[in-house]
Structure 1
Amino acid sequence: MLLDTPICDFGWKAPDFTLKDANGKSFTMSEHLGEKGLLIVFICNHCPYVQRIGLQLAEDTKLLMAEGINVLAIMSNDYEYVTADSPENMKLFSKQYGFTFPYLVDKEQLIGKQYGAVCTPDFFGFNSKGELQYRGRSDELVYAMRMIAKTGQGPQNQTPSMGCSIKWRV
């Protein structure tokens, strides 16, 4: 099912979390909230929208990270229902697209729900204070995150991202 993300709720404070990647290494959001901001993107392996932007996402995030903007990706789908999104497949997917950012497992789906993530991909761009400044599309991502890094604020006009619905456990 194709969904659009909500309009950016400027200033919304990011809840802190600690999640593990597919290898079991823990990452804490607040430790990645750098002075130039943080991009959190909800993705999954099986989504055709994520697959379509996978290589570009890898390139864009490498560029942003080289400029001091941190990146975390989260997979919140119920991977017992959608086995293509399992942690083992996350490792393969990450390698296939050349992701250099941590790709984290939200097994309990709590973080996806706390953030109000609705689809994959779903982008959340935060300034250094952990305030939401971007909730848009991948083609505006680099511009928006650079603006946040420089001014602490995201662009006022943003186009909602669209993608597959997150597969919530029932």
Structure 2
Amino acid sequence: MLLDTPICDFGWKAPDFTLKTPNGDAFTMSEHLGEKGLLIMFICNHCPYVKAIATRLAEDTKQLMAEGINVLAVMSNDYHQVDSDSPENMLRFAEQHGFTFPYLVDEGQHVGQQYGAVCTPDFFGFNHLGELQYRGRLDNASLQNDPNREPELLNAMHLIAAIGKGPKQQTASMGCSIKWR
């Protein structure tokens, strides 16, 4: 089912969480806020929308991380229902697409629910205070690999890093519904 994300609730405070990678490494959200902010994205392996943007997502997040903006990805789907989203397949998917950010398993789906994540991909851009400043899409290229794309997420995170505020105009991300238990 295709869904769009809600508009950005500017200033909404990110709930803290600790989740683990498929390898068991723990990451706590509040420890990754950083001086330039934090991007939290809800993604999964099987979604055609995530697959279509995976290479661009890897490139954009590498640039953000090189500039001191932290990135965490959360997989909230019920992987018992969708085997392709299992932790083992998360590792394969991350390696296949060159993800350098932590890709975390939301086993109990609590983080996805706390954040109100509705689809994959769902992007949350926070400033250094943990205040939501971006809830839009990756870019305007949709499912295509357009070399002339407008990297909306990248631009928004640069703005958040520079002034602590996101762009007033944001276009909702769209993707597959999160597979809840």
TM superposition score normalised by structure 2: 0.93
> Once the two structures are aligned, what percentage of the paired residues are identical?
77
Q: Using the TM superposition, give the Cα deviation of residue 159 of structure 1 relative to its aligned residue in structure 2, in angstroms.
A: 0.1
Instruction: Output the amino acid matched with 1:144.
Output: A
Tell me the amino acid that sits aligned with residue 161 of structure 2. Answer: A
Where structure 2 has 5 or more consecutive residues not aligned to the other structure, the ranges are 140-151
Instruction: Could you list the structure 1 runs, at least 4 aligned residues long, displaced by more than 3 angstroms after superposition.
Output: none
Structure 1 residue 112: Cα displacement: 0.0
Instruction: Check if 1:147 corresponds to 2:159.
Output: yes
Equivalent residue number for residue 35 of structure 1: 35
Which string of whole-angstrom CA distances, capped at 9 and with x for unpartnered residues, describes residues 109-131 of structure 1? 00000000000000000000000
Instruction: State the alpha-carbon separation in 1 of the partners of residues 154 and 80 from structure 2.
Output: 33
Deviation at 1:168, TM superposition (A): 0.1
Residue matched to 1:129:
129
> In 1, distance between residues paired with 2:124 and 2:22?
21
SS state at 1:138 partner? coil
Amino acid at match of 2:177: S
Cα distance in 2 for residues equivalent to 1:122 and 1:90 = 17
User: The residue matched to 1:96 in structure 2 has which SS?
Assistant: helix
1:167 to 2:179 alignment: yes
Q: What is the root-mean-square deviation of aligned Cα atoms in Å?
A: 0.2
- If the length of structure 1 is used for normalisation, what is the TM-score? 0.99
Q: In the alignment, what sits opposite 1:157?
A: 169
Shift of 1:73: 0.1
2:175 counterpart letter in structure 1: G
Cα distance in 2, alignment partners of residues 68 and 153 from structure 1: 16
Unaligned runs of 5+ in 1: none
Residues 19-65 of structure 1: per-residue CA shift (max 9 Å, x gap) = 00010110000000000000000000000000000000000000000
Question: What secondary structure is seen at the aligned counterpart in 1 of 2:133?
Answer: strand
Structure 1 match to 2:115: 115
Q: Which amino acid aligns with 1:143?
A: N
Q: Residue 75 of structure 1 corresponds to which residue in structure 2?
A: 75
The offset of 1:96, in angstroms, is 0.4
